[in-house]
Amino acid sequence: MSLELSLPIGIVDEHPEWSARLLAELARRRLPVERIDHASHGYDPRDRRRAYSVVVNRTSPSSHRRGHGSVLFYAEALLNHYEALGIPVINPVAAYRFEKSKALQVELFERLGLAYPRTVVVNDRAELVKASAGVRFPVLVKPNVGGSGALIERFDSRVDLEAAAERLDFGPDGTALLQEYVESEGGAIVRVEVLDGRFLYAIRIVRTATDFNLCPADICQVPSAPAGGDLHACPVDARPGLTVTRWDAPPEVVDAVQALTRAASIDVGGVEYLVGRADGRVYFYDVNATSNFVANAPAVLGFDPTPRFADYIVGVATRGTRRGAA
Report the CATH number at residue 125. 3.30.1490.20
pLDDT by residue (tens digit) across 309-318? Answer: 999 999 999 9
**pLDDT 10s digits, 77-126:** 999 999 999 999 999 999 999 999 999 999 999 999 999 999 999 999 99
- Predicted confidence at residue 66, as pLDDT, reads 76
Q: Per-residue pLDDT for 295 more than 90?
A: no
- H helix or E strand, kind and range, residue 177: strand 176-180
For residue 169, the model assigns a pLDDT of 92
Residues 317 and 53: beta-carbon distance below 8 Å:
yes
Q: Specify the pLDDT at position 95.
A: 97
In a domain, residue 106? The reply is: no
Q: What is the pLDDT of residues 161-198, one digit of tens each?
A: 999 999 999 999 999 999 999 999 999 999 999 999 99
The pLDDT confidence band at residue 292, using thresholds 50, 70 and 90, is: confident
At 294 the pLDDT is 85
What pLDDT, on a 0 to 100 scale, did the predictor assign at position 293?
87
30 and 54 Cβ atoms separated by less than 8 Å: no
Run of H or E including 275: strand 268-275
| 69 pLDDT above the threshold of 80 | no
pLDDT in tens, 125-173: 999 999 999 899 999 999 999 765 567 899 999 999 999 999 999 999 9
Report whether 290 contacts 59 (CB < 8 A).
Answer: yes
Residue 217 banded pLDDT, cuts 50, 70, 90:
very low
- Residue range 268-277: mean pLDDT, rounded: 96
**Count of structural domains, the chain:** 3
Residue 190 lies inside a defined structural domain of this protein: yes
For residues 140 and 153, give the distance between their C-alpha atoms in angstroms, rounded to a whole number.
6
Measured in whole angstroms, how far is the alpha carbon of residue 35 from the centre of its chain? Answer: 20
Instruction: Report yes or no on whether pTM surpasses 0.95.
Output: no
What is the pLDDT, as a whole number, of residue 150? 62
Higher pLDDT, residue 8 or 242: 8
Q: Do residue 155 and residue 88 come from a single domain?
A: no
pLDDT of 239 above 90: no
Residues 294-307, mean pLDDT to the nearest whole number: 92
Chain segment 258-269, per-residue pLDDT in tens: 999 999 999 999
d(CA 282, CA 183): 11
pLDDT of residue 103: 97
Q: Are residues 279 and 218 in the same domain?
A: yes
Question: What pLDDT is stored for residue 149 in this prediction?
Answer: 59
**4 in a structural domain:** no
**Measured torsion, CA atoms of residues 96, 98, 100, 105, in degrees rounded to the nearest 10:** -170
Bridge partner residues of 20 (DSSP)? none
259 or 234, which is more confident: 259
Same domain, 125 and 87: no
pLDDT at 318: 94
Task: State residue 64's pLDDT score.
Answer: 72
pLDDT band at 324 (very low <50, low <70, confident <90, very high): low
Structural domain range at position 218: 184-303
Task: Name the domain boundary from 180, 215, 250.
Answer: 180
**End residue of a domain, out of 163, 180, 197:** 180
Nearest residue to 260 (alpha-carbon basis) of 58, 106, 92, 61: 106
> For residue 238, is pLDDT > 90?
no
Q: CA distances (Å), 259 to each of 112, 227, 254, in order?
A: 8, 39, 9
C-beta neighbour count of 174 within 10 angstroms: 13
Q: Is-contact 103 136, C-beta < 8 A? A: no
On the question of pLDDT at 4 being above 60, the answer is yes
Do 160 and 217 belong together in one domain?
no
Domain finish residue from 154, 180, 206: 180
34-54: pLDDT as tens digits: 999 998 999 999 999 999 999
CATH number at residue 50: 3.40.50.20
Same domain, 148 and 48: no
Is 295 found in the same domain as 188? yes
**pLDDT for res 322:** 81
Q: Is residue 165 part of a domain?
A: yes
